[in-house]
Amino acid sequence: MIDVLVVDDDVLVARINAAYVAKVSGFRVAATAHSTAEALAVLDGQPVDLILLDHYLPDENGLAAVRELRARGHQCDVMMVTAARDVATVQAAMRHGALQYLVKPFNFAGLRAKLEAYATLRETLANGGEAEQAEIDRIFGVLSAGAVAPDLPKGHSPTTAELVRQVLMAADGPLSAQEIAERAGVSRQTAQRYLKLLERTDRVRLSLRYGETGRPEHRYTWATSPHTG
């Protein structure tokens, strides 16, 4: 079993996230905490494998928490689970060794995909020994590729598919292909290609909005609605 510490300043959100973790096979919640101090107290008393760490905590932020737990010698893995989406925070999280970064709001499927990718990574690394370049590439690709579609057709990039997924999951409502393209930083044609693929695999829902011209506009939403935690 993979032991997880859930850290979030909101008691209700921590409870929801812990319930999500408990539903994923192979994972169990070791404890929950609502501040950096509480999280460090838990870690000093018991080892865990993974921390789901919010950035906005009442005493120190998540990045400061990571620095402190490393200074104390804790080697557990960290997945940031936060509403902080500015590039500076994301980049700092990477530099501090966060393996994953999940933006709120998200749903159970989004967290499950991240956890399953993490479990796959642990299983891959458990074999030890030396790795050829192809194996190293696979190890580094596990965390980014597992969230959307491990079975993408040839010519499709898991990274681009993940960008489209993140845009849709962060949206307040249905988006057009053009809006998705702009937010993901890809061309409209590229966005449409991935949207068609994700729709065929039931990951994206398509709806029509009729304007004054009478021609319907295609609007897209992720297949499940995120909670607001």
Widest Cα–Cα separation across the chain: 65
pLDDT at res. 143:
59
pLDDT digits (tens, 9 = 90+) for 2-29: 999 999 999 999 999 999 999 999 999 9
DSSP state of 6: E
Torsion, CA 184, CA 78, CA 38, CA 15, rounded to 10:
60
Compute φ and ψ for 105, nearest 5 degrees. Answer: -80, 150
**157, 190, 155, 176: which is closest to 221 by C-alpha?**
176
**160, 59, 51, 169: which is closest to 103 by C-alpha?**
169
pLDDT at res. 26:
93
Region 75-86 average pLDDT: 88
The pTM score is: 0.62
